[in-house]
Amino acid sequence: MPPLEGIDVSNHNGIIEWQKVKNAGISFAFIKATEGDAYIDRFFGTNMARCRAAGIVPGPYHFYHHDIDPKAQAEHFLHVIGQVHKGDIPPALDVEAPGDGGGRITYPAAQIVSRIKTFLDTVHAATGLNCVIYTYQYVWRDLLKDSNAFANTNPLWIARYGVNSPALLGGWQKYTFWQYTDSGNVAGVGHVDRDQFNGDMAAFRLFVGDPPAVDPVRRFPAPFQEFILYGEFRKFFEAHGDVAAFGNPITNTRQELIGGIVYPYVQWFERARMEWHPEPNLNKVLLGLVGVEALAAKGRQPQPNMPISPRFANFYAANGGVDIFGLPIEPEVTEAFNGVNLPVQYFERARLEFNPQTNAVSRGLVGAEAKAARPLTVPPDAP
């Protein structure tokens, strides 16, 4: 049987029509999550959720920087990807050359290897999984002196174009994934990197493991380990962007008084609040007006008929639009966060922030801010 076909994607691929990708014969996808110790790919949460929903097996990857503390990079990666789903591809580490964006190397090959090992060990300690390593000949043979430090533990994802089969390196006896072109074309995504798994579907299922019956409870790493996620809130969370979109939970499910109404189920997240609305003909999860509340905590009131800033329009449209963010309630302004001035725009249910150092848009911590401004006289947590 022919090997399984896959792709690897990032924000550079824009909005992906994952069902068309599935229909084109793609079985798996590596999806960029993070880079360095601060950058989050703006499509990561959406891509993971929609890829999985289309029946394609996803796996998150981190783009490694040689000039940034590897433990800090691993912790950033772990924070963004959240709990690893059984049945997904294990997390992957993308190790590239300085000239390809990997950051400056000012130390010898042995230290390159030891720093990469720090990253891999940190992820393994948190997840129990050995990362897939993506690399190519120039990096591994020339910069790492063909180190075999990971050949017995970490699956190899090798990039090599224009050949019938890639030559092995670093002591690996076989490759697990092969990126065989960076100029493929697949319906639903267009120009894209193409990959193959070294085996058939039975071998792939053995590699990733069969997804188990869904654990009804989702748990989170420290310092959020006391909070759990389940039921309709979990479904909504995982279908609309996961940790990258909403952040971690900062309460458990509880009753709460909002706008004079006691809602039986409410849960707060760093960037949002989920509410279960039992009104007639509704019975669904909606996001609370934490953008309005966070703005009010700063002494400002929503303004009507505000346009969406061009800076944030693409992110808004690609990540749920009015259903997720609500309407804009202020024009774009500049605010200081941790001593850094960022362009921001408030929406009814969110705040979008632009980081000029990375040119990335992300969602602000309005859930945490709105919760901190709430009065303490609310009904107690639900059992």
The partner residues of 115 in beta bridges, in order of sequence, read: none
List 94, 270, 293, 332, catalytic entry = 94
Cα 171–chain centre separation: 31
Evaluate whether 354 touches 299 at the Cβ level (below 8 Å). no
Residue 163 tokens read as 């050949």
The alpha helices in the chain, defined as continuous H runs, are 18-23, 44-53, 70-81, 109-127, 137, 201-208, 231-239, 242-246, 290-297, 310-318, 321-325, 366-372
List 41, 96, 238, 330, catalytic entry = 96
C-alpha 231/C-alpha 263 separation (Å) is 16
Question: Is 193 a residue of the active site?
Answer: no
The alpha helices in 168-288, defined as continuous H runs, are 201-208, 231-239, 242-246
β 156-159/177-186 pair status: parallel
Q: How far is CA 254 from CA 125, 218, 228, 289, in A?
A: 32, 16, 12, 17
Longest dimension (CA), the chain: 68
Question: Is 94 a residue of the active site?
Answer: yes
Sole residue written with tokens 């009507």 = 304
C-alpha 334/C-alpha 349 separation (Å) is 19
C-alpha 60/C-alpha 85 separation (Å) is 10
Number of other CB atoms surrounding residue 101 within 10 Å: 13
Evaluate whether 158 touches 179 at the Cβ level (below 8 Å). yes
Residues annotated catalytic, as ranges? 8, 94, 96
